[in-house]
Amino acid sequence: MITIEGLTFQYKNSNRNAVEDVHLSIRGGDFLGIIGESGAGKTTLIRAINGIIPHHLPGDYYGSVQIDGEDTFDVTPSAISLKVGTVFQDIDSQMIASVVEDEILFGLENYSIPRDEIEARLSGALDAVGISQLRYRNISHLSGGQKQKVAIAAIIALRPKILLLDEPTSELDPQSSLAIFRLLKELNEKHGLTIIVVEQKIMLLSEFVKELAVMKGGRLLLHGSVRNVLKNTEQIGKSGINCPRVATLSNRLTELGVKLDGVCVTLDEACSMARRLMYD
Amino acid sequence: MINVENVSFTYQQECTLKGITFHIDRGEFVALIGSNGAGKSTLSKLLNGLLKPASGTVTINGMDTRKTKSSTLARHIGFLFQNPDRQICKNTVADEIRFGLELVINDKALVQQRLDSTLQRFGFNPDSNPFQLSRGERQRLALASIIAAEPEILILDEPTTGLDYSECTQIMNTINELNSKGVTVVMVCHDMEVVLDYARRILVLSDGRLLADGSTKEIFRAEEVLHKASILPPQIPQLALRLGQGFENAFTVEEMAHSLVARTRPQFFEVKEDAI
Amino acid sequence: MKGFLDYALGDTFFHHLNPLIKLLISLLISIAAFISGSHLFIAALIALNLVMAARAGIFQRGVMLLAGLLKFSAFIFILQLLLVRRGNPLLHLPLNLVITDAGLSSAFLIVLRLIAGTMPLAIMLSITQMSDLSNVLVLKCKVPYKYAFALTTAIRFIPIFAGEMAGIIEAQTSRGVEMDTKNLFKKVGLILPLCVPLLITSVKKIEDSAISAEIRGFHLRTGQSCYKRYMVTAGDMAVLAFSAMLIALACIF
């Protein structure tokens, strides 16, 4: 569905490549998490998928990003947005309206969605995100987590096949962050949305996403199922990110000579692993 | 050092803190935890006089915050916010640190000396433009310009939010080093792993009340308190709680690994037990 | 002044007025305040503003607004008081300054006008959604959407910047900048350099906002895109007629 081949990009006025020779293919229905230290090229990769690069931010561009066989280089950003929706990190500045309903209407109106379809899309999006009760509320009075859900609903209303999120929880507390990831999982499983999320919180990623990509210095360092990626303790350590502690624990147990089936990525797994080691 | 006596605070007709009392000694490392809206940020701002209590008293080194100017308190207390961009207002790294120093130190020679040692300690290029640094570097600069003045107390309001893991570790290690030299640290923090790794005492806030006050280990084993304050403990202590008896002292990966190895049945070892 | 211009949700008569009519009546009331030379009439206009605020469910904000404007006007009041030398002297001050009855009267008049002229727009904007305002500007006034959007975005960002500024002042106070000084000139001197961090944050926020609008098809929008319809109702006509009457009264008094 998304095929990235040899993508290299250098921003104007910069002297190093923000992403370098990235090859990545993402199938429809995937739930991919991207992690890496700051400056690793995560945001640039997201921008290359939604067409902000090269259409809004100029620079040296090599390689290609194809969505359903169409090269983003040749398609206008507004055409890309119908397939790829993006939610940003800064919660307040991505809002354009003062009331939830209007925030969601904005995109629908811009794309001239037929009048008789608008109401269904509007209430459908609110419902899918679980914020129907917030429809007439003032956005500035909502909590950060609620605002981020409004941003997601505004994108979902446009019915994209792919949802990109750039550090959607960086301004949120643990409970709201968890709620956002639960929602993403539901959107992925129930609605079949392909989701790509850049995130610093490794524990959320390991709990919820299907695939994990680790970036460093503009390059894609590791990519695969969460379990396979988290096995590489050493490489992960070098890339400046942390493993969930339960993964570190199971890797440490293996070092100590304990036979395990594989690395634990969630607390639940660690718990059943420990019980199996100790009891029948 | 820090004395909070029966403090209440009201903001826009809403009572955000009710009857809070605690005492913090010199050299402690205290974390303030609680869910959003529990009153953590409000409490941290009461500690440096940004906010004044509606009733009760906050005293810092014997000074009542209601009777002392914020600028005077700033000589004793450094406050690091979540967003460094609200603090940084000069065009070079050196100017930024000097500006902070001159606010609290009158002696020019001393300002220069502190500036030089801070630049060296953090390895900053004095002429670089703060606004071209990365988010993590800007947070380090904000921290540097605060600790250059050598405050006795350091208050941190979510210092690691929005930072990646290595930036977070860098900031926290600097703070930890200061603490080991006797600086009192009070930190509002959402990241329970950071709290576990660095804080030695935890104050739990819930609905504007002080729900619990204890050592980090006590609090992360107090299931009922954590549940009431809707706090998810860090992974390893949470695993220890679930596994029950025998894991009371497992807080780190290493402690948990050894507690587990000691209880693992022999058939799960690759080699003979004596190799461990 | 916290919450100033932040949209106040509500279901009142005033909320349901056509956004354009809201702008128009606030303009008319302001004009009335400037035409009239009567202290009493302008004071009545201020009272009317408070009544409108109360009917719109934002009385408290109206009072806060009034208090804020009073503080702001104090400076102008004193200036006017000391500069006007016509009329009968009431009080002689050092430095050859004199307060006259005409000075007192004109100082009062200026302050009243300033307040009565500012309040209506602030109140009406508080109960108007910016998206409605831009929609109606596009639909009824044929303003190109880009300009209407720019205008409403600017207004929408005011409370965000105000919040940011409050945060910056907190951060600076914490490091020892004497923001709690009683000396107004010193305070202004301290606040000015803080515009640097505000500017940096603002530029970034505006860029993010532009990209966010762009990826939701902003530039595809046409004059007909708007989903909501904006009617001019009998209520709209009534308040408009009432405001016109105020102008007429202002000419008489």
For C35-57, b/e burial (b = at least 16 CB within 10 A) is: bbeeeebbebbbebbbebbeebb
| Banded model confidence at residue A56, pLDDT cuts 50, 70, 90 | confident
Interchain pair C227, A118: CB under 8 A: yes
Q: How far apart are CA C18 and CA B245, in angstroms?
A: 68
Q: How far apart are CA B148 and CA B115, in angstroms?
A: 7
Whether chain C has a CB inside 8 Å of the CB on B24: the answer is no
Please list every residue in chain C whose beta carbon sits closer than 8 Å to the beta carbon of residue B81: 167, 170-171, 174
Q: How far apart are CA A270 and CA C249, in angstroms?
A: 80
Interchain pair A77, C7: CB under 8 A: no
A-B Cβ pairs (cutoff 8 Å, strict): 104
Predicted local confidence at residue B126, as pLDDT: 92
Instruction: From A228, A241, A233, A257, select the one nearest B257 (Cα to Cα).
Output: A257
What phi and psi, each to the nearest 5 degrees, are found at residue A148? Answer: -65, -35
Q: Is the sign of the CA dihedral B178, B181, B187, B192 positive or negative? A: positive
- Choose the mutation target among C215, C229, C230 for the interface with A, i.e. most A CBs under 10 Å: C215
Tokens of C148: 């209407």
Predicted local confidence at residue C177, as pLDDT: 86
Q: Is the sign of the CA dihedral B153, B182, B212, B228 positive or negative? A: positive
| Banded model confidence at residue C4, pLDDT cuts 50, 70, 90 | low
Query: Considering the entire predicted model, what is its pTM?
Result: 0.86
Residue range C125-159, pLDDT digits in tens: 888 888 888 888 888 888 888 888 888 888 778 87
Interchain pair A158, C225: CB under 8 A: no
| CA dist list (Å): B118 to B75, B76, C150 | 17, 18, 44
Cis bond upstream, residue A54 (ω within 30): yes
Quick check: C1 pLDDT over 80? no
DSSP summary character for residue B214: E
Q: How far apart are CA A172 and CA B208, in angstroms?
A: 20
What phi and psi, each to the nearest 5 degrees, are found at residue A39? Answer: 85, 5
Closest-CA residue of A relative to B188 is A173
Quick check: C3 pLDDT over 60? no
Q: How far apart are CA C239 and CA C246, in angstroms?
A: 11
Tokens of A83: 């397939």
Whether chain C has a CB inside 8 Å of the CB on A99: the answer is yes
Is residue A196 a contact partner of residue A46, using CB atoms and an 8 Å limit? yes
Please list every residue in chain C whose beta carbon sits closer than 8 Å to the beta carbon of residue A171: none
SS (H, E, C) C117-156: HHHHHHHHHHCCCHHHHHHHHHHHHCCCHHHHHHHHHHHH
Residue range B24-58, pLDDT digits in tens: 999 999 999 998 888 898 999 999 999 999 999 99
If you search the block for the tokens 């390991």, which residue do you land on?
Answer: A206
Whether chain B has a CB inside 8 Å of the CB on C235: the answer is no
Interchain pair A98, C160: CB under 8 A: no
Q: What is the mean pLDDT of chain A?
A: 92
Maximum Cα interatomic distance, chain B, rounded to a whole number of Å: 70
Is residue A73 a contact partner of residue A54, using CB atoms and an 8 Å limit? yes
Angle at B34 between CA B33 and CA B38, to 5 degrees: 125
Whether chain B has a CB inside 8 Å of the CB on C177: the answer is yes
- Which of residues 208 through 237 in chain C touch A, CB cutoff 8 A? 208-209, 211-222, 224-228
User: What is the distance in angstroms between the Cα of B230 and the nearest Cα belonging to chain A?
Assistant: 8
What percentage of residues in chain B have a pLDDT greater than 70? 97
Determine the residue type at A225: S
Predicted local confidence at residue B274, as pLDDT: 55
Please list every residue in chain B whose beta carbon sits closer than 8 Å to the beta carbon of residue A148: none
| Banded model confidence at residue A34, pLDDT cuts 50, 70, 90 | very high
Q: Is the sign of the CA dihedral A54, C222, A100, A114 positive or negative? A: negative
Closest-CA residue of A relative to C125 is A98
Whether chain C has a CB inside 8 Å of the CB on A252: the answer is no
Residue range C19-73, pLDDT digits in tens: 989 999 999 999 999 998 888 999 999 999 999 999 988 888 889 889 989 988 8
What average pLDDT score do residues B217-231 get? 93
Is residue C88 a contact partner of residue C58, using CB atoms and an 8 Å limit? no
Residue of higher predicted confidence among A278 and C185: A278
- Choose the mutation target among B171, B239, B267 for the interface with A, i.e. most A CBs under 10 Å: B239
| Banded model confidence at residue B71, pLDDT cuts 50, 70, 90 | confident
Residue range B119-176, pLDDT digits in tens: 999 999 999 999 888 888 999 999 999 999 999 999 999 998 888 888 999 999 999 9
Predicted local confidence at residue C98, as pLDDT: 82
Nearest to B243 among A39, A144, A274 (CB): A274
Whether chain B has a CB inside 8 Å of the CB on C200: the answer is yes
| Banded model confidence at residue B13, pLDDT cuts 50, 70, 90 | low
Interchain pair A270, B235: CB under 8 A: yes
Quick check: B226 pLDDT over 90? yes
For B83-102, b/e burial (b = at least 16 CB within 10 A) is: bbbbbbbbeebbbbbbbbbe
- Choose the mutation target among B33, B36, B228, B271 for the interface with A, i.e. most A CBs under 10 Å: B36
Residue of higher predicted confidence among A184 and C89: A184
Closest-CA residue of C relative to B157 is C171
Interchain pair B70, C197: CB under 8 A: no
Write out the DSSP string of C175-224. Answer: TT--TT-S-HHHHHHHHGGGHHHHHHHHHHHHHHHHHHHHTTTGGG--TT
Tokens of A199: 């995130």
Tokens of C241: 């007629």
Interchain pair C221, A155: CB under 8 A: no
Instruction: From A40, A4, A47, select the one nearest A19 (Cα to Cα).
Output: A40
Lowest mean pLDDT among B24-33, B50-59, B253-262, C88-97: C88-97
Please list every residue in chain C whose beta carbon sits closer than 8 Å to the beta carbon of residue B103: 175-177
